[in-house]
Amino acid sequence: MDTITDCPTFIDLAAIVAADPVAAGQDPFGADARILPVRAGPCEVFVTAVAAGDGSFVENGGDTWIFAVEGDLVLAHNGLQIALPQGTSAVIARGTVFTWQATDAVTVIGMRYTDAPEGAGGIVAIDNAATYAPSNPPADDVLLSEKPSCRSANQFASADDGRFKCGIWDSTPYTRLPILFRHTELMHLLEGEVSFTDAAGRSATFGKGDTFIIEQGARCSWDSRVDVAKIYATYKPAD
């Protein structure tokens, strides 16, 4: 199925980027970023291109997770350099003044939490090899398989409210019934494969290297037959 145009539930972001590449601009994290039409609560999902060279930006729009889809990027803040090679991500907190440098053009997917409270600023690199800790598996009443073993390493949470979080997660295989996503979650699969089916019967399968988002308000299942690991950027509203 075509997850670009036919599915308002799970959207293949990397496919959107590949189908309509964005041109590099003078303000890649701001005015020149292309906002994508997805439901993500108080978050905007965007794609942008950073031209070879260097520049600077002040992140006043919110807490912003960025993922290097293609190319390598170097960020700098308060004298600290953070390398962002292809396939890695970082979070730039609201209020951060930073510079970037790229030897070649870099394509970036981002998710910005626009309701992020003011904080101390800074840049947090998301470590794809961070140490995991046990995390809660799906509830028993939605599982259609044995209970999986789930682990996570949350590495960023928005100041004060903690509603925007970024990190890594993995799990042994499991299948569950469709659930309502009160939250929204952007994922990049580091390992494995997972299939989703939504309330309208539309299905999609994503595998290692895919980048996609489950929209807020979606209702969909989960079916993984192998171990899955992912980077995540997620917004969860208050209870």
Residue 98 predicted with pLDDT over 70:
yes
Strand 53-59 with 96-102, pairing: antiparallel
pLDDT tens, position by position, 149-197: 999 999 999 998 899 999 999 999 999 999 998 899 999 999 999 999 9
Listed residue (1, 17, 13, 61) closest to 189, CA to CA: 13
The phi, psi pair for 137, rounded to 5°, reads -80, 175
Q: Which 8-state DSSP code applies to residue 2? A: -
Please give the distance of CA 232 from its chain centroid, rounded to a whole number.
5
pLDDT digits (tens, 9 = 90+) for 3-42: 433 456 899 998 888 888 899 888 999 999 999 989 999 9
**Residue 212 vs residue 1, higher pLDDT:** 212
32-91 pLDDT, tens per residue? 999 998 999 999 999 999 999 999 999 999 999 999 999 999 999 999 999 999 999 999
Q: Which domains does the chain have, with CATH numbers?
A: 10-126 (2.60.120.10), 133-235 (2.60.120.10)
Contact 113, 233 (CB under 8 A): no
Q: List the one residue out of 154, 195, 204 whose CA is nearest residue 173.
A: 195
Query: pTM score > 0.85 for this model?
Result: yes
